């Protein structure tokens, strides 16, 4: 899942919650005391904003050569009931800042998220949601956050500063939301987190609490209460909800309810019912027109339900289960009463778009005001396009582009009209039409934006395709034809890992599906030759992959060929120092080059996992043998600040270098003219010393024909600065920067992708490569780019 960061102008119509941090310090000394500068960062001080002080943080990138400047603020903070935080930030000159990070320290570790304000000179509100953060270590939870950390990461060696006006909770009940989501007690099956993501997908702000926090005071602020899977509520919580429902409360529940709440909502009891035969409960379809805006069919492969029934005169079935053949099952999927809706299973993650829309329709039936919230969220996206002040400014920019011909201007006019239609429909309470018009306004704007940006002749335009089987619901022929029709020149399909191949291989174990699905390289290659695209076969190195046979893993374990962390945990990666593993990596790609007339081979994961690997006993033996000296304190002496750290870095780098060099040499022997490339981390100067990926050397030695840094970001400033530096590091090799249209870090709209493509052109790179080519990208992003930036 990806990080959702919504940039909102500071004047957005939300009532201001009491801040976590107000930042209105009386003087520089108070600011410096509150925010401790770390590792050479300048002391915090105050800035001025109209009538109040704000927090000013200076970035001394010109003299402080560390990758970031950062400050720590001690707190006693409980974020367990919030959706996340929102902070107001202003950065007048962010050209030297690649991106910002906010960190939350709990016992055992940290949560962290990156963000990039797209606008300069004005205050911007950044929203950071808890369900999208990453973790460092093993943080114990959100109940006791003890430190907030704000960090700015360097883009270039130039001093700058930024200001923070406030930091507040996001999803504060009674403040910016009246929707309350109750956490599920089962830590393994976090249905509450799944529902939280789906609510956010439709712009529905919400707070979260535990069952024990369901007090009358909390429920008095609640307009809609959601129970994701709380079938065994305590008597106290049940009583509180009964009272809430008697006082005009509304309840949206999933799977089942305790008997007292079934009675309070007028919904009949049911029994546990398995999906026997398999596929018995495969989709949800509305009954009648009560569920306004519900999809005609919502896929949900449920393995069981509770067979609740409506009670005559008190509730009714508003959606029914259908089986995998499209026949009605005869069992209610959604039951509605005057004060509640119950879905007879938990809400799953399959068919995500329709699922989020079904959730909105159920919530809107109970509280129609929720429709307005969702419509406002969609329309707000039109005012948040890149660095533009608002939608009008974005439209003015498109009109002024030299490439804005009649077709682009026509789409732009239609987009403006669709936005107006959305507002008209909303006023008339035609909510589904309002949402459809808002979506249409965005789609038409994106098309206009793409139409106004012409293609660059002779450019290398590629996609990474993470699935060895190509794009879901498309054959390889159809997927490649789609790329050709939209001006792309190459595909990089992921056909092998450290422990599995998706073609007949004599070097690696073969995925079991290949027996029925066929040779995936051969199928992709045939389609590429038919339609004139290049194929560069992508290998994930060292990482064994999820389809690796268990017996192969057991064999590797017996032979002590797997990686081990600094604390002794096994990692399902091949150890790079083992000569058998290095040979396996090399031979697998040589086999591909020998057996298939591919245009290139492509390394990925050609590195160590992180700074904690590999410290297996054979690594120690080989390192000591190579250096001729025993390690006194293992592994401390070779870790950061260890007395033999520099030796260790060079030794680990050489383990990776050897595979790149020997593979490059051998594939060129068996297939002259083949291109060798690698997907790499973006910061060579840092990553070459942490994950031991010395790709600058690989380019300089000619082992790579071109390099593809994975520059996944929504920050155009950061992207620009990275490519400027990477162009130097790549040296004689070609530079083909990655753009994360759909990655774990980013999801870009077409206009944002176009702006990053334009940056690659500004630096005259060889081209660009998009991650990832999947079902949605094939349907939406690729055709959008084909209108202009990649047009044939």
The C-alpha atoms of residue 674 and residue 474 are separated, in whole angstroms, by 28
The whole-number pLDDT of residue 188 equals: 60
Q: Which residues of the chain have pLDDT under 70?
A: 1-17, 186-189
Tokens of 690: 């942490």
The whole-number pLDDT of residue 189 equals: 65
The whole-number pLDDT of residue 183 equals: 87
The whole-number pLDDT of residue 577 equals: 98
Identify whether 388 is preceded by a cis peptide bond (ω within 30 of 0).
Answer: no
The closest of 202, 196, 249, 246 to 225, measured between CA atoms, is 249
Torsion of CA 605, 759, 746, 727, to 10 degrees: 20
The C-alpha atoms of residue 415 and residue 630 are separated, in whole angstroms, by 69
Tell me the angle at which helices 520-531 and 476-485 cross, rounded to the nearest 10 degrees: 30
Tokens of 431: 């909510």
Contact between 144 and 76 under an 8 Å Cβ cutoff? The reply is yes
The phi-psi region of residue 780 (left if phi > 0; otherwise alpha if psi is between -120 and 50; otherwise beta) is: alpha
The whole-number pLDDT of residue 15 equals: 42
The whole-number pLDDT of residue 536 equals: 98
Contact between 370 and 216 under an 8 Å Cβ cutoff? The reply is no
Helix (H) or strand (E) holding 756: helix 750-762
The C-alpha atoms of residue 266 and residue 43 are separated, in whole angstroms, by 61
List the beta bridge partners of residue 6: 127
Give the contacts of 378 (CB within 8 A, at least 6 positions apart).
203, 422, 435, 438, 439, 442
Give the contacts of 174 (CB within 8 A, at least 6 positions apart).
221
The C-alpha atoms of residue 441 and residue 432 are separated, in whole angstroms, by 14
């Amino acid at each position: 899942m990806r990080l959702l960061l919504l940039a909102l102008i500071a004047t957005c119509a939300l009532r201001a919650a009491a801040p976590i941090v107000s930042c209105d310090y009386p003087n520089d000394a108070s600011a410096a005391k509150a925010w401790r500068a770390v590792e050479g960062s300048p002391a915090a001080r105050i800035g001025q904003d109209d009538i109040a002080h704000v927090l000013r943080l200076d970035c001394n990138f010109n003299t402080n050569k560390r990758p970031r400047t950062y400050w720590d603020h001690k707190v006693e903070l409980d974020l367990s009931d919030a959706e996340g935080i929102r902070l107001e930030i202003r950065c007048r000159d962010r050209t030297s800042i690649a991106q910002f990070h906010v960190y939350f320290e709990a016992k055992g570790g940290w949560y962290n998220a990156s963000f990039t304000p797209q606008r300069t000179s004005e205050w911007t509100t950044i929203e950071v949601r808890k369900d999208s953060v990453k973790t460092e270590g093993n943080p114990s939870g959100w109940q006791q956050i003890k430190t907030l950390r704000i960090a700015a990461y360097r883009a270039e060696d130039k001093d700058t500063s930024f200001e923070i006006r406030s930091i507040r909770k996001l999803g504060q009940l009674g403040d910016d939301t009246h929707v309350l989501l109750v956490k599920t007690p089962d830590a393994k099956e976090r249905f509450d987190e799944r529902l939280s993501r789906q609510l956010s997908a439709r712009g529905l702000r919400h707070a979260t609490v535990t069952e024990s926090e369901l007090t009358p005071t909390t429920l008095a602020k609640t307009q809609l209460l959601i129970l994701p899977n709380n079938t065994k509520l305590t008597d106290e919580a049940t009583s509180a909800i009964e009272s809430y429902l008697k006082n005009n409360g509304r309840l949206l529940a999933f799977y089942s309810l305790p008997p007292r709440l079934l009675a309070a909502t007028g919904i009949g009891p049911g029994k546990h019912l398995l999906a026997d035969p398999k596929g018995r409960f495969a989709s949800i379809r509305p009954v009648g027109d009560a569920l306004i805006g519900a999809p005609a069919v919502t896929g949900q492969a449920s393995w069981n339900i509770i067979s609740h029934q409506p009670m005559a005169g008190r509730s009714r079935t508003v959606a029914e289960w259908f089986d995998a053949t499209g026949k009605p099952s005869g069992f209610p999927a959604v039951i509605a009463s005057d004060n509640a809706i119950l879905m007879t299973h938990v809400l799953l993650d399959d068919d995500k778009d329709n699922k989020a829309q079904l959730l909105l329709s159920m919530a809107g039936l109970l509280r129609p005001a929720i429709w307005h919230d969702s419509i406002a969220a969609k329309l707000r996206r039109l005012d948040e396009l890149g660095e533009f002040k608002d939608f009008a400014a974005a439209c003015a920019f498109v009109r002024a582009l030299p490439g804005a011909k009649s077709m682009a201007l026509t789409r732009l006019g239609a987009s403006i009209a669709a936005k107006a239609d959305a507002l008209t429909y909303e006023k008339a309470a035609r909510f589904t039409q309002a949402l459809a018009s808002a979506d249409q306004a965005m789609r038409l704007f994106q098309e206009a934006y793409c139409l106004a940006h012409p293609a660059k002749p002779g450019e290398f335009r590629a996609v990474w395709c993470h699935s060895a089987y190509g794009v879901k619901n498309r054959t390889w022929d159809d997927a490649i034809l789609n790329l050709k029709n939209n001006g792309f020149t190459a595909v990089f399909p992921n056909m092998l890992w450290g422990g599995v191949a998706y073609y007949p291989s004599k070097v690696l174990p073969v995925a079991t599906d290949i027996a029925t699905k066929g040779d995936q390289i051969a199928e992709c290659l045939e389609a590429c030759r038919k339609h004139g695209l290049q194929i560069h076969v992508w290998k994930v190195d060292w990482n064994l992959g999820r389809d690796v046979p268990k017996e192969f893993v057991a064999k590797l374990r017996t032979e002590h060929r797997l990686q081990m962390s600094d604390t002794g945990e096994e990692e399902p990666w091949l150890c790079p120092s083992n000569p058998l593993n290095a040979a396996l990596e090399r031979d697998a790609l040589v086999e591909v080059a020998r057996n298939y007339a591919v245009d290139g081979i492509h390394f990925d994961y050609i590195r160590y996992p992180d700074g904690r690997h590999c410290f297996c006993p054979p690594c120690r033996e080989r390192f000591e043998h190579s250096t001729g000296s025993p390690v006194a304190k293992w592994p401390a002496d070779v870790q950061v600040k260890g007395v033999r750290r520099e030796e260790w870095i060079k030794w680990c780098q050489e383990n990776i270098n050897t595979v790149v060099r020997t593979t490059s040499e051998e594939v060129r022997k068996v297939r002259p003219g083949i291109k060798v490339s690698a997907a790499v981390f973006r910061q060579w100067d840092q990553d070459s010393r942490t994950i031991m990926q010395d790709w600058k050397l690989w380019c300089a030695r000619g082992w790579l024909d071109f390099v593809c840094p994975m520059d996944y970001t929504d920050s155009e400033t950061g992207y620009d600065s990275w490519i400027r530096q990477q162009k130097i590091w790549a040296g004689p090799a070609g530079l083909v920067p990655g753009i994360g249209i759909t990655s774990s870090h980013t999801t870009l709209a077409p206009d944002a992708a176009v702006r990053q493509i334009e940056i690659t052109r500004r630096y005259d790179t060889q081209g660009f490569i998009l991650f990832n080519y999947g079902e949605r990208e094939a349907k939406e992003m690729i055709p959008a780019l084909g209108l202009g930036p990649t047009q044939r």
